């Protein structure tokens, strides 16, 4: 299983319990920033996700278009299968986009719909 997809995580995907349930392993990441976005919060209603994450409110990023705004998170390498598992974990409030991080790398990130 080649970990060839870069995923930017700023929220619950950093939690050990969520990683073990979603990916079957703990992931290591490098600090990075997502420019042009700010963090908001969303109420989660999916009971399975609440049980896994232990939280009813999750962070969600929204584009501002202002390059001075930035969100701190970690860039983690995942396989295509793990990326699909992350898609299943994220509820319909989120959509996955490709974005350039402050480091210059391009990563997948879940943003608000």
Is 111 a domain residue? no
Extended beta strands in 2-105, E state:
5-9, 29-35, 37-43, 57-63, 70-78, 94-100
Is 54 a domain residue? yes
Is 58 a domain residue? yes
Is 77 a domain residue? yes
Whether residue 86 is predicted with pLDDT greater than 70 in this model: the reply is: yes
Is 36 a domain residue? yes
**Would the pTM of this model clear 0.85, i.e. be above it?**
yes
Structural domain boundaries, residue 13: 5-103
Is 112 a domain residue? no
Is 109 a domain residue? no
Q: What is the rounded distance in angstroms from the CA atom of residue 33 to the CA atom of residue 91?
A: 23
Is 22 a domain residue? yes
pLDDT band per the 50, 70, 90 thresholds, residue 1: low
Q: What is the pLDDT of residue 87?
A: 95
Total number of domains constituting the chain: 1
Q: What is the rounded distance in angstroms from the CA atom of residue 28 to the CA atom of residue 23?
A: 12
Q: What integer is the mean pLDDT of 77-88?
A: 96
Please give the mean pLDDT across all residues of the chain.
94
List the CATH number of the domain containing 32.
Answer: 3.10.490.10
> How does pLDDT run across 90-110, given as a tens digit for each residue?
988 899 999 999 999 999 999
> How does pLDDT run across 49-81, given as a tens digit for each residue?
999 999 999 999 999 999 899 999 999 999 999
């Amino acid at each position: 299983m080649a970990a060839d997809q870069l995923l930017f995580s700023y929220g619950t995907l950093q939690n050990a319990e969520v990683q073990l349930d979603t990916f079957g392993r703990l992931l290591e990441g490098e600090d990075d920033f997502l420019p042009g976005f700010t963090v908001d919060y969303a109420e989660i209603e999916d009971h399975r996700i609440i049980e896994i994450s232990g939280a009813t409110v999750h962070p969600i990023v929204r584009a501002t278009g202002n390059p001075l705004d930035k969100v701190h998170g970690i860039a983690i390498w995942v396989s295509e299968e793990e990326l699909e598992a992350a898609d299943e974990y994220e509820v319909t409030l989120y959509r996955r986009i490709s974005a350039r991080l402050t480091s210059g790398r391009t990563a997948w990130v879940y943003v608000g719909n």
